[in-house]
Structure 1
Amino acid sequence: MTPAPQELTIRPLTDPQELALFQQLSYVFDHEFDDDLTSGRRRPEWMWVALRGERLVARLAWWTNNGETPLLLDVFDLDDTVPEPERGEAGLRLLETATAAVVPAGAPRPEYGRFVPADWREDPAAREIVEARIRVMERSGARMLVERLRLEWRAGTPVPEDGGRLRFRPVADREDLLALMTPVMEGTLDAHGQADLASGLTAREAAEKHYDEELAHYRTPRAWWRIAELPDGRPVGFVIPARNNYNPIIAYIGVLPDQRGHGYIDDLLAEGTRVLAAQDDVVRIRASTDLGNVPMARSFARLGYVNFERSFDMVWD
């Protein structure tokens, strides 16, 4: 007779010294946890475990960029040697218990983001691991918002020289950029932008939200940000090269609706890549784009960016 499983213990970490316990399961962020805890991007009370005796069977953690409130559930791991339905039940109990303790009642639940292998659908083992987590999230009421390509330019990859058909200037200030972000938001292929518009935000409000919640937090020079113009001064679009807490990135690219269809996306991406590649010790530049944004994905491919991974975001309505 198979013995009954031990009672499940669900709790947060008591202090950073318990990180070794948390890392009994693994994920691509493991090497970042020490620095994230030191910097305040994570807190022990936002890092939860589900234990059977001394064995870690599930874990989760939230992340932030402001140190005050959890903004993203970006770690959710299950012991994949545990069979279903026990594996899923442990994960669901952990998710519901930790969320009730960490997210204030009535507050929106931070979305769930997960990095997955680029070929996760073709690899049966990887697919089961990914889908096990999706099943738990769906049982908690979440839905899939978007799957994204994660892309990487690597040092040594040629970058086209400026062909001269556009003029690039630094972004002057917040309003200078928002004046272009607003029309770009109309008809956007970005799932998060579409969700903001569907929620009732105007294009201007959605642009302000994107600026204030993401772009404003980059500490790298605003002088890197570029607006592209035609020789006669008419704006074409913009590119935001930056560095987040982990890598140089292409944070945002936009082409104005009346300038689309001329291949300007390649000029913007090349300019952003040149800005970052010119900095000291840059070995890679990261970027991402929605799976459904085919024009953007093709531009990254033309510029030599490699699709090394995918990600998905799930949300609670």
Structure 2
Amino acid sequence: MTAVSSQYPLGLTVRPITGPDEVELFNQLRYAFDHEIAGDLRAGRRRPEWLWVALSEGRVVARAGWWCRTGDERPLLFDIFDCADGHEAAARHLLRTAQAAVTGEGTPVQYLRFVPGDWRDDPAVRRGVDRLVGLIEEQGARPFVERLRFQWEPGTPVPDPGERLSFRPVAGREELVGLMTEILDGTLDAHSVRDLRTMTPREAAVEQYDDEMEKYTTPRDWWRVGVLPDGEPVGFVIAARNNYNAVIAYIGVRPAHRGRGYVDALLAEGTRILAGTGAPRIRATTDVGNTPMAAAFLRAGYVNHEREIHYAWS
């Protein structure tokens, strides 16, 4: 895409950065992802034409950025949006201009923001978050879901899977898609609930496998199925490493086996595998509304270190 520069009253310039040499300029405003941006550009997870700044007298007063998985052609998330105090008009103009250039006529991708776990209890933090999401809402976005972010660190006892289940690697794509299809019955995950409005459970499972699971490059024998003594699968856990951290990428219990504590064994197995690799941390997320899963993470020694809020345009 050709870089676009648009002028705004009082000499404001809105444009994408020109390349990696302007990462420092983009990072004049601060946020959690700043240390990752240069690496993401090299890996193709971000592109200069997806990183926009609003400049006033050479100073960045607002910025916006989009992210994708390596190999994708289109952005998956709108995950950076910052505005200096008193420059809300510049941020509005930046958002309208950048969004039109990055996503065109289609529906904008979801906006995601990391926030402290207690962000509603700190008046200063809440004002800052409310100001940013208010600007997003002016452009038509609406709250979609809030998610809890969990972290397990070395030094925390590794949970014991116990003896009720034994574990084996996932047999292959078809077994995992089949288990995912079953587990979508009664799901509490907001993204899955949304998918099921327009897809069958199997279609949703296939899409999730192809768009996410298939792209993990870590060993497939980290993907574990928990089975009863007679060999019947109870559920599965996907332990993996993404571009940034070791993660519990997916965990689920088949409907017939829910409510019996098997999720603790599955999570313990996934945690055991990742802890055994020497990972400096293990990350996981779940929706605020998925209280059973949140409780399982806490029982396993994970700490809810922050939250993420998602806004959507559809």
Q: Where on the TM-score scale, by shorter chain, does this alignment land: which range?
A: over 0.9
Residue in 1 aligned with 2:279? 282
Distance (whole Å) between structure 2 residues aligned to residue 161 and residue 265 of structure 1: 12
Aligned 8 A contact 2:14 2:94 in 1:
yes
- Given residue 74 of structure 2, which amino acid in structure 1 is its aligned partner? T
- CA deviations 1:156-197 (Å, max 9, x no partner) are 111233311111110121111010000111210001001111
| CA offset digits 1:7-50 (Å, max 9, x no partner) | 32110001111111101100011111111111111111110001
**Once superposed, what is the RMSD of the aligned Cα atoms?**
1.2
Give aligned-pair identity as a percent: 57
Q: Which AA in structure 2 matches 1:139? A: E
CA distance in structure 1 between the partners assigned to 2:55 and 2:299 by the alignment = 47
- Counterpart AA for 2:51: M
2 CA distance for matches of 1:209 and 1:67?
15
Query: What is the alpha-carbon distance in structure 2 between the residues aligned to residue 142 and residue 205 of structure 1?
Result: 27
Question: 1:133-212 alignment to 2 at 5 Å?
Answer: 133-198=132-197, 200-212=198-210
In the TM superposition, 1:1-317 aligns within 5 A as 6-65=10-69, 66-79=71-84, 81-82=85-86, 86-87=87-88, 89-105=89-105, 107-198=106-197, 200-279=198-277, 281-317=278-314
TM value normalised by structure 1: 0.94
Q: Distance in 2 between the 1:160 and 1:57 partners? A: 46
Q: Deviation string for 1:116-169 (max 9, x for gaps)? A: 011110001100111111111111111111001110001011123331111111
Shift of 1:111: 0.8
What is the DSSP-based 3-state SS (H/G/I as helix, E as strand, rest coil) of the residue aligned with 1:272?
helix
Q: Which moved more, 1:175-184 or 1:206-215?
A: 206-215
The CA deviation string for residues 230-288 of structure 1, in whole angstroms up to 9 with x for no partner, is 11111111100000000000001010111001000100100000010001x31210001
Structure 1 residue 307, shift from structure 2 partner: 0.6
Q: What SS class does the counterpart of residue 10 from structure 2 fall into?
A: coil
Matched residue pairs, number?
Answer: 305
Q: Shift in Å at residue 104 of structure 1?
A: 3.3
Structure 1 segments of 4+ aligned residues over 6 angstroms from their partners: none
Q: Distance in 2 between matches of 1:244 and 1:100?
A: 30
Q: 1: distance between equivalents of 2:230 and 2:156?
A: 32
1:6 alignment partner, SS class: helix
How far the C-alpha of 1:53 sits from its partner, in A, is: 1.8
**Does the CA contact (< 8 Å) of 2:67 and 2:75 recur in 1?**
yes
The 8 Å contact of residues 6 and 53 in structure 1, kept in 2 or not, is answered as no
Deviation at 1:213, TM superposition (A): 1.5
Distance, in Å, in 1 between the alignment partners of 2:272 and 2:111 is: 32
Query: 1:237·1:256 contact (CA, 8 Å) conserved in 2?
Result: yes
Counterpart of 2:158 in structure 1: which amino acid?
Answer: V
How far the C-alpha of 1:96 sits from its partner, in A, is 1.3
Q: Distance in 2 between matches of 1:171 and 1:56?
A: 49
| Contact 1:150 1:287 (8 Å CA) reproduced | yes
Q: Is the 8 A contact 1:42 1:67 kept in 2?
A: no
